[in-house]
Structure 1
């Protein structure tokens, strides 16, 4: 039996910040590639594939699809995506507001519609960001993720 990924009895329409990870099917490296730059610092360079660029387009337009939802930070790694999604439903009708699952599903569906193929795993990982310290730690993790790709738990050559 599959373990549920969502926190039981938590309302994922609740205003707040969420750390989300979406993986490709079979962890296929199809979204981007990371290589060492040639500059003095040898910083990693992340180059999006066509599928990665399409995915980025829909990540950047999520606030158009859902009023009150923004993606505050993200990185598109070769076989997964990390995002900080902010839901602000203050002053809005709660019943009509999307859940975190609705938001992630819409990104996957829009990519599938444009490409004609499903690239992502059915589910996703989430973490409810509880305070500013938690937020800053996750923001830093996302920001430095390309530099640590070979150490990443999702790393596959």
Structure 2
């Protein structure tokens, strides 16, 4: 459903309205390439063969915990036109004697000590701006931006869909089911709804 904001139509968010996407928990994420183009490689006899862009997609996914120390990676898979992965947020595990905040602008990351009083503001949303919070949106923005910057050096037409799919994993059974789904994704490529056939 479209809503008006500042006299422009926008699509309603697919995010769960009352959920804090920076809360500790496990999140199943799917990010698709623009028009579901097969930038990342191909499936050959149930095996994923990565292209140069697919290798970069994996490399930067593995780097997520380096930039966001409160994140652990669950299973993930790079597919021809999308990435599936589980991100586990555990902010309790990332607290140390000398805390650092990582300011990220697409590709540049510099660790800076947290000041005594942090007064973050951003646009019309003020402190509620998602990009100033340690949450899933900020992580995915960094990942997509980092990939885009490097991948466009090799393939100028590379792009992502503007949104991403997320699912909050609420129990151990669901976690195991999704872990298995991700692991078997290349074998089930022909039945995958993201296949883009």
**TM score, norm. by length of structure 2:** 0.71
Query: What residue number does 1:41 align with?
Result: none
Q: Secondary structure at the match of 2:187?
A: helix
Whole-angstrom CA distance in 2 between matches of 1:115 and 1:138: 28
* Cα distance, 1:3 vs structure 2: 3.5
Query: What residue number does 1:74 align with?
Result: 76
Whole-angstrom CA distance in 1 between matches of 2:79 and 2:89: 23
Whole-angstrom CA distance in 2 between matches of 1:153 and 1:112: 24
Larger relative contact order (Cα-Cα within 8 Å, sequence gap ≥ 6):
1
Q: Which of the residues 25, 28, 52 maps onto 2:34?
A: 25
Whole-angstrom CA distance in 2 between matches of 1:150 and 1:23: 16
In proportion to residue count, which structure has more strand?
Answer: 2
Structure 1 stretches of 4+ with a deviation exceeding 3 A read: none
Superposed, 1:1-157 pairs within 5 Å as 1=2, 2-36=11-45, 44-90=46-92, 92=95, 98-116=134-152, 117=156, 118-157=158-197
Whole-angstrom CA distance in 2 between matches of 1:23 and 1:61: 19
Q: Secondary structure at the match of 1:147?
A: coil
Whole-angstrom CA distance in 1 between matches of 2:50 and 2:189: 15
* Cα distance, 1:4 vs structure 2: 1.4
Whole-angstrom CA distance in 2 between matches of 1:152 and 1:81: 12
* Unaligned stretches of 5+ residues in structure 1: 37-43
* Cα distance, 1:156 vs structure 2: 2.6
* Unaligned stretches of 5+ residues in structure 2: 3-10, 100-117, 119-131
In proportion to residue count, which structure has more helix?
Answer: 1
Task: Give yes or no for contact 1:89–1:97 (8 Å, CA) kept in 2.
Answer: no
**TM score, norm. by length of structure 1:** 0.88
Q: Secondary structure at the match of 2:31?
A: strand
Structure of higher CA gyration radius:
2
